[in-house]
A = this chain, B = another copy of it.
Amino acid sequence: MTTSPLLEKLIQHFNRFPGIGRKTAQRLAWFLISGDKNAADEFADCIKETMDSFTVCKECLMLSETDPCPICADTDRDDSQLCLVETTSEIYLVENMHEYHGKYFVLGHLLSPLEGFGINDLHLNDLLKLIDRRKPDEIILALKPSAEGEATIHYISELLQKKKVNLTRLSTGIPFGGDLEYTSTLTLANAWKRRYRV
């Protein structure tokens, strides 16, 4: 008995998600068809409804149910600060901090020659236009400190060299609760170099 084409298709849909391998995809598909039909139908409806509702904010390029997004539309938020993130989901992370009251811009990707993302995949023209229009005092690069993040930070810092703006990036170091024993040498060396007076 081979897997039915329909079940196989469902497994492949699950398999497309990041971090979901073939075995997990099979488990998820079986969970779905073994479970409540109404719950599965609601799940399918929810996917469609969400896909229909989300759009891209033309200002900051975040995924939002409104255009402009609630943040760009909020006149109480500080236009003098602009936070650059890779994707919309990082905006939620920063917002959860309740520390930042400026605005955002979504780059869409980090520079990653290995994954085939070059400078044309980062929405840099939109970024430059936004900077010229809003003239922020500070641009915070909230990008992950990986090879791709570092390359992107380097490229953007070169690109914005002539703009009158303070370009900052998130601090790197040992995470809170992290154990020195389990900290990579690179992270430790970086934390060492950036040590500060207590």
Contact for A33 among B18, B43, B50, B70, CB less than 8 A: B50
Task: Name A16's closest neighbour in chain B (CB-CB).
Answer: B39
Stretch at the interface among A1-9, A116-124, A152-160: A1-9
Q: Is the CB of B24 within 8 A of A47?
A: no
CB of A88 within 8 Å of the partner chain: yes
Q: Is the CB of B32 within 8 A of A24?
A: no
Q: Is the CB of A27 within 8 A of B18?
A: yes
**Residues of chain B with a CB closer than 8 A to A70's CB:** 1
Q: Provided the pairs A1-B71, A44-B44 are in contact, do residues A89 and B30 lie with their beta carbons within 8 angstroms?
A: yes
User: Residues of A within 8 Å of B, CB-based: how many?
Assistant: 49
**Residues of chain B with a CB closer than 8 A to A37's CB:** 51
Give the interface centre of A27, A28, A44 by most chain B CB atoms within 10 Å. Answer: A44
Q: Is the CB of A24 within 8 A of B19?
A: yes
CB of A10 within 8 Å of the partner chain: yes
Q: List residues 32-71 of chain A with CB under 8 A from any CB of chain B.
A: 32-34, 37, 39-51, 53-54, 63, 65, 70-71
**Residues of chain B with a CB closer than 8 A to A53's CB:** 6
Number of copies: 2
Q: Is the CB of B91 within 8 A of A46?
A: no
Q: Give 10 nearest A-B pairs by CB, closest first.
A: A44-B44, A44-B47, A30-B89, A13-B43, A1-B95, A40-B51, A44-B48, A33-B54, A10-B50, A37-B51
Chain A positions within 8 Å of B, measured between CB atoms, are 1, 3-4, 6-7, 9-10, 13, 16-20, 24, 26-34, 37, 39-51, 53-54, 63, 65, 70-71, 87-89, 91-92, 95
Listed A/B pairs (20) with beta-carbon separation below 8 Å:
A1-B70, A1-B92, A4-B65, A6-B46, A6-B65, A10-B47, A16-B39, A17-B31, A18-B27, A19-B24, A19-B27, A29-B50, A30-B87, A32-B47, A34-B63, A34-B89, A40-B48, A43-B44, A44-B48, A47-B47
| Other A-B pairs, 7, CB within 8 Å; known A4-B65, A30-B89, A40-B51 | A1-B70, A10-B50, A13-B42, A33-B63, A37-B51, A40-B48, A44-B48
